[in-house]
Copies of this chain bind each other. A is one copy, B any other.
Amino acid sequence: MDLRLTREEIAFRDEIRTFLCENIPEAIRNRIAEGRHVGREDYVTCQRILNAHKLATPNWPVAWGGRDWTPMQRYIFGEEVQSNNVPDPLPFNVAMVGPVIIAFGTEAQKQRLLPPTANLDIWWCQGFSEPGAGSDLASLKTRAVRDGDAWVINGQKTWTTMAQWANWIFLLARTNPEARKPQEGISFFLVDMSTPGITVRPIQLLDGGHEVNEVFFDNVRVPADALVGTEHRGWDCAKFLLANERSNIARVGISKSRLRRIRALARAVPAGDGSLWDDEDFRHRVLQVEIDLKALEMTQLRVIASEREGSRTPNPASSILKIKGSEIQQATTELALEIAGPFALPYHDPEAEYPDGANDLPEGFGWADTAAPTYFNYRKTSIYGGSNEIQRNIIAKMVLGL
């Protein structure tokens, strides 16, 4: 047992860190650190820089521009991206649909779609959730019917993240409504969003931002090769995809970055004759979150180490990464809200222009107006991707045998 990074791992980490700080525009990294709006162009800029250095898709096979990294290297890379306030390479592209195309797609699909997917020339969104389905994904109702050499899709998706910026969507649709089980008779499609019949309607979230959408399909005709994998066996692709979605779900790097910022802001905000950071009670509450995060980081490392050790059974500790990770993220937003105090009240349209580095506004503190929206927005972390209640059901059954 040796719980330190090896010399090689430290060198790797430093190399990644230096690369990110030198190559990713500082203005974008500052906006992320401050919890401000990051636009489509920012994501594209960053991902293309990474992709030019074969850093956008390290989890892909080498043949498709990936890296032959160890799980620990992948973890370190993800950590450095998050804790240096670099936007994650778009997960819909890199972690979700890319690997599905690699595993289930035809050679033609791979050739046509993977390079633009890696370079964010195609921006993918995920058409899984439907109104009324919620945690019960397999009860989806969107239909796809074969009509000659085309498929015709009708239905509605919801909670579709960043669909307003996407030009392609991957989705699940029911192709055999007579199948015995709800998971059977579903197929996995890749659809160009410019196809006629697709409408995107924004859903405004509590922070006032436009992050998710409803996507309507009204007799959308797509070619036969929109299908990926086997007809009616789309659930296999979905399961494969959801398993990948879990990686880095603890978001330790993001919480680290947020906690660093909390320390800095608490030192800057006046309270009494000094700053809020002079308040021992507040510092202790920050420390408790930091300890929880340190423990989670060690838990995450245990999971990664057990992957490397090639253990056949999954490490049971992995099951808690989502629950604990979301709780810690939410705790950091509560601390930030506390720092903002009465100055959390002013609302600033998150998508309006905001001058870089503006830290003083007449209505309070410039940084304070992101505190409440982030607090509101982060309530989603214990809801999406399988609510924490669903996660507990799964652990009770799969890990504890209850």
A178 at the binding interface (Cβ < 8 Å): no
A279 and chain B: residue at smallest CB distance:
B280
A284 and chain B: residue at smallest CB distance:
B281
Residues of B within 8 A of A280 (CB): 280-281
In angstroms, Cα B281 to Cα A281, docked, is 6
Q: Which of A249-301 contact B (CB under 8 A)?
A: 280-281, 284
Q: Which of A276-332 contact B (CB under 8 A)?
A: 280-281, 284
Residues of B within 8 A of A284 (CB): 281
CB distance from A279 to the nearest CB of B (A): 9
In angstroms, Cα B278 to Cα A280, docked, is 13
In angstroms, Cα B280 to Cα A57, docked, is 51
A285 and chain B: residue at smallest CB distance:
B281
In angstroms, Cα B281 to Cα A244, docked, is 43
In angstroms, Cα B279 to Cα A281, docked, is 10
In angstroms, Cα B285 to Cα A284, docked, is 13
In angstroms, Cα B280 to Cα A284, docked, is 12
In angstroms, Cα B282 to Cα A281, docked, is 10
Residues of B within 8 A of A281 (CB): 280-281, 284
In angstroms, Cα B280 to Cα A280, docked, is 9
- Spell out A's residues near B (CB within 8 Å): 280-281, 284
4 contacts between A and B (CB under 8 A): A280-B280, A280-B281, A281-B281, A281-B284
A-B pairs with lowest CB-CB distance, top 4: A281-B281, A281-B284, A280-B281, A280-B280
